[in-house]
Amino acid sequence: MQLFNKKILLGITGGIAAYKTPDVVRKLTAQGAQVRVVLTRGAAEFVSPLSLQAVSGNPVHTQLLDEQAEAGMGHIELAKWADILLIAPATANCMAKLAQGLADDLLTTIYLATDARVCLAPAMNQKMWKARATQENLHRLQLHGVDFIGPDAGEQACGDVGPGRMVEPEAIVSSLAAMSGDDKLAGKHLVITAGPTREPIDPVRYVSNHSSGKMGFAIAQAAIEQGARVTLIAGPVTIAPPANATTISVTTAQQMYEAVMRHIPQADIFVATAAVADYKVSDVAENKIKKSDEKLTLTFVKNPDILKEVAALPSPPFTVGFAAESQDVEAYARGKLRNKKLDMIAANDITREGLGFNSDENALHVIWHDGDEHLPPASKTDLAKTLIALVAKQYNNKMSK
């Protein structure tokens, strides 16, 4: 119950997703939070103040100058009251005003006047979300310390499909709870790779593997729950990334390498869960290769060894590798730990039925230089939490020496 007794000020702006906000309030109060609501003029077109008052148990605030507030300055009182300012849905217009420091209504004025943690759950058309101006506003707000929950991708009210949907109320509440949890990694930046890579043969075919990305995404979520800032670099997967991760989508090993190297100078910890292809086709055909001969010969060349190159940097982050093996699992993992000069490695046996690739469960043997721990079969979500706790402990031990 990380939200117990937390004072949460919910700002609702004028998007269709506003109809979900009574459920957000209900779920927050069920967690023991105290909730007050600020409703913009546009939001009142989608959800009624009376319904929000009923679920929150408090009057809904709409006016900048409030006759009921002390000295008529309700915005200052609310700004001081809140532990968390949650704006959901946050429209493109709202993001633009916050990014530029405009204060033309109660909500934007509170934003400028509060010392509370600020979290936005964006909701807008997918083209509006992708627009350069919106992305620049996103970056500016992140630099100001604003946290983002979502958006999700999927079908939108207008019929478009893409990123921009407000995340569901349950996900909003769980993300807020995670931010308020036991922050073993507070202030730390983790770069995490996840999923497979695809190495093209021609415009139609590629070489890949069975990695689903579930383990890496679970580790990213576990790190966020421990207070970390997470950059998640993901190959082609079909699952949604954690709401609070900065997610970078890549396809090939070379693209993943370049993305990692761009972000690793600011990283405290690097966790390499991605199943990166060791080799790529030396000459990718410009056109589809036609079926002609009985045999097709392709020449492969090595891809960059991302994990090894990160660990070999002059000032490397705390580096965690993964070893998915089918035989001599521990021996290969210890060799990889030693040869690549890693801080920690998590090994799993891919021959164990029901575990590993494309499964919701896994088992790991986590090894570091002066110790190890066997993590028995469990859901990848639970396993990720245990692994991140071990990573945090060993990282802090190393930093204290």
Residues labelled as active-site residues: 158
Sign of CA dihedral 238, 240, 245, 249: positive
| DSSP per position, 112-171 | HH--SEEEEEE---HHHHHSHHHHHHHHHHHHTT-EE---EEEE-TTS-EEEEEPPPHHH
In angstroms, the Cα distances linking 73 to 61, 109, 114 are: 12, 11, 13
Which of these, 317, 302, 303, 321, lies nearest to 256 by C-alpha position?
Answer: 303
Q: What angle do CA 84, 170, 96 make, to 5 degrees?
A: 50
Residues with Cβ within 8 Å of residue 83, at least 6 apart in sequence:
6, 7, 8, 116, 117
Which of these, 178, 171, 256, lies nearest to 224 by C-alpha position?
Answer: 178
* 3-class SS of residue 192: strand
Which of these, 108, 124, 136, 104, lies nearest to 14 by C-alpha position?
Answer: 124
The CA distance from 119 to 86, in Å, is 5
The DSSP code for 240 is P
